[in-house]
């Protein structure tokens, strides 16, 4: 009996001392500079890990499976949904995107901080399941600036550009639900702001 008591106490002491990581969720419209901010944060926060999402979108030129995304078929994505493997998932623009639960939990449990770069629908699902997650929204200085940036990026055709711009306007209306809003007016200041939030 005593042994059981001692074991239980020891387990709870270990559980208390085990430091789990923090979960950060970065969102914001296409073209706002999330990718650059994310890379800067990863370069400057050694304990931070990026969770690679699954998507049904086709890889863009220069993208590699398992690096930017895990590029999977619609059938596989549906299978993952049925098996409840996603922490969150959403239909964004014209494709499915999702974060694997196991990836995030393993990293958090091993003491790493984890960064997700996901859309607003996904971010709100995460906040509901894990209220301790820190939600960070990256906003453009104005819709006009965003339009110029997205057009200048040259990665989208006219139709995809329109979809992304319309979605951007919708996404901006959710920014008040986030813990922090970073206005990406000056890239260097925005990077510093994100670094401070994370560290």
- Contacts (CB under 6 A) with ligand 5GP, residues 1-30: 30
Tell whether residue 140 is a contact of ligand 5GP (CB under 6 A): no
- The distance of closest approach from Cβ of residue 65 to ligand 5GP in the complex, given in angstroms and rounded to an integer, is 14
Nearest to 129 by CA among 149, 155, 158, 108: 108
SS3 120: helix
**Which position's Cβ is nearest ligand 5GP?**
122
Spacing of C-alpha 84 from chain mean position: 19
Rounded Cα distance, 187 and 145, in Å:
13
Residue 184 within binding range of ligand 5GP, rule CB under 6 A: no
- The H or E element spanning position 21 is none
Binder of ligand 5GP out of 25, 72, 92, 104 (CB under 6 A): 92
For residues 138 and 132, give the distance between their C-alpha atoms in angstroms, rounded to a whole number: 19
The CA radius of gyration of the chain, in Å to the nearest whole number, is 19
What element of type H or E holds 192?
Answer: helix 187-198
CB of 63 to ligand 5GP, least distance (A): 9
Which is nearer to ligand 5GP, 93 or 101 (by Cβ)? 93
Tokens of 166: 């319309």
Cβ proximity to ligand 5GP, 117 vs 193, nearer residue: 117
User: Cβ distance 30 to 82 under 8 Å?
Assistant: no
Using rule CB under 6 A, residue 117 touches ligand 5GP = yes
Nearer to ligand 5GP, 118 or 190 (CB): 118
| String of contacts with ligand 5GP for each residue 23-62, x by CB under 6 A | -------x----------------------x---x-----
- Choose, by CB under 6 A, the member of 25, 41, 48, 90 that binds ligand 5GP: 90
Instruction: Give the span between the Cα atoms of 143 and 166, in whole angstroms.
Output: 10
Residues in the site for ligand 5GP, rule: CB under 6 A? Answer: 30, 53, 57, 88, 90, 92-93, 97-99, 117-119, 121-122
């Amino acid at each position: 009996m005593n042994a059981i008591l001692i074991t239980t106490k020891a387990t709870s002491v270990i559980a208390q001392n085990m430091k789990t990581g923090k979960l950060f969720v970065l969102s914001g419209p296409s073209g706002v500079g999330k990718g650059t901010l994310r890379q800067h944060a990863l370069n400057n926060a050694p304990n931070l890990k990026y969770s690679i999402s699954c998507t049904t979108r086709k890889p863009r030129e220069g993208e590699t499976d398992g690096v930017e995304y895990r590029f999977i078929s619609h059938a596989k994505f549906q299978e993952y949904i049925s098996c409840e493997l996603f922490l969150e998932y959403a239909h964004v623009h014209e494709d499915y995107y999702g974060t694997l639960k196991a990836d995030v939990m393993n990293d958090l449990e091993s003491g790493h901080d984890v960064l997700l770069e996901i859309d607003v629908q996904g971010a709100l699902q995460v906040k509901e399941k894990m209220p301790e997650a820190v939600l960070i929204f990256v906003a453009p200085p104005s819709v006009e600036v965003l339009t110029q940036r997205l057009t200048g990026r040259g990665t989208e055709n006219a139709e995809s550009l329109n979809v992304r711009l319309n979605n951007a306007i919708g996404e901006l209306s959710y920014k008040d639900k986030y813990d922090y809003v970073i206005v990406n007016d000056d890239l260097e200041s925005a990077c510093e702001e994100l670094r401070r939030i994370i560290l």
